Structure 1
Amino acid sequence: MQYFEDLVVGAKSSFGRYAVTREEVLAFAEKFDPQPFHLSDEAAAETHFGRLSASGWHTGAMSMAMLVENLKAQRQAGLGSPGMDELRWLKPVYPGDVLRCETELLHKRVSATRPEMGIFKTALVVFNQHDEPVMSYVSNGLIRTRPA
């Protein structure tokens, strides 16, 4: 199990592989972000996207799927997240793209009010198959400290 004490500030990681499908882009958009450029090739062609693109929120959900798989593989004693900072959608994500993540641990500290819990910040960047960054954010995570 990976605890707070095992986290190393400055540590970098690369993980994940998520193949974006047209069907998933449409299904997500229909339910959560029904803007025309996420639902129609014709409407998207009239925008700066040029063609059907994934919702930024969908890109966030795909990054979360990769992140959780990575955390499970590490057996991290995670306790969720109080939020994120500095969310940026840098480039459109299109059906056919294959995404991956890179992270860097920026900061960690033990909670002042709950010593059994650590708090950490991680910079996360999502890349497409051309190694172009498509999204970035700073994740705030909660993790158990090592039991005594």
Structure 2
Amino acid sequence: MTYEDFSEGQLFQTPAVFMTKEEIMTFADQYDPQYFHVDEKRADKSHFNDIIASGFHTIGKVWAEFIKLDVLGEDCIGGLGADEIRWKRPVYPKDYLKADIQVTKIAADDQKNRGVVTLYFDVKNQKEKTVLTFFTDVVVAGSREQSN
């Protein structure tokens, strides 16, 4: 979608994705090897009482599902960053996650025929409890036809 195709308040939703203990531990072993992500015995005795997913894994998992919706498609030029990342609740093995994504802002740069689309992600588990929220800014191409 070109930035002109987006509108403030527009909503998208990812399908639910399943979190397995194996993928949680594999991701964490490589990218976030804290004991409550990789060591079952210690995690069982932790505040969480089990292995939990890295917050960065959770972001990546729902981002991938959003990309699979092909909303941005070939009009995506790239990301500018993420803001206000909040991990609200732990994500456990066997949790299902889905994201409600809302367009919160569109800033056009007509001189470069593109715009910045701000998206707000609200990620919920199977109990409809929010586990993660964040904003991200994405640069999106404008329409291919230039008006004179």
TM-score relative to the length of structure 1: 0.91
Q: 4+ residue stretches of structure 1 with deviation over 4 A?
A: none
Amino acid in the other structure paired with 2:28: A
Tell me the distance in 2 between the aligned counterparts of 1:102 and 1:115. Answer: 30
Give the corresponding residue for 1:89: 87
Amino acid in the other structure paired with 1:66: E
SS, match of residue 98 in structure 2: strand
Equivalent pairs, count = 145
SS, match of residue 92 in structure 1: coil
Q: CA deviation at 1:11?
A: 1.0
| Residue 13 in structure 1 maps to residue 12 in structure 2 | yes
SS, match of residue 51 in structure 2: coil
Tell me the distance in 2 between the aligned counterparts of 1:131 and 1:19. Answer: 14
SS, match of residue 9 in structure 1: coil
Give the corresponding residue for 1:100: 98
| Residue 147 in structure 1 maps to residue 133 in structure 2 | no
Give the corresponding residue for 1:120: 117
Structure 1 gaps of 5+ residues are none
Q: CA deviation at 1:74?
A: 6.4
Structure 2 gaps of 5+ residues are none
Amino acid in the other structure paired with 1:143: V
Tell me the distance in 1 between the aligned counterparts of 2:73 and 2:57. Answer: 25
Give the corresponding residue for 1:48: 47
Amino acid in the other structure paired with 1:31: Q
User: What percentage of residue pairs aligned between the two structures are identical?
Assistant: 27
| Residue 131 in structure 1 maps to residue 128 in structure 2 | yes
Answer yes or no: is the 8 Å Cα contact 2:14–2:62 preserved in 1: no
SS, match of residue 126 in structure 2: coil
Answer yes or no: is the 8 Å Cα contact 2:72–2:140 preserved in 1: no
Aligned-residue RMSD, C-alpha: 1.5
Q: Which moved further from structure 2: 98-107 or 36-45?
A: 36-45
SS, match of residue 16 in structure 2: strand
Give the corresponding residue for 1:63: 62
- For residues 41-66 of structure 1, what are the alpha-carbon distances to aligned partners after superposition, in whole Å with 9 as ceiling and x for unaligned? 22112222111101111111111111
SS, match of residue 50 in structure 1: coil
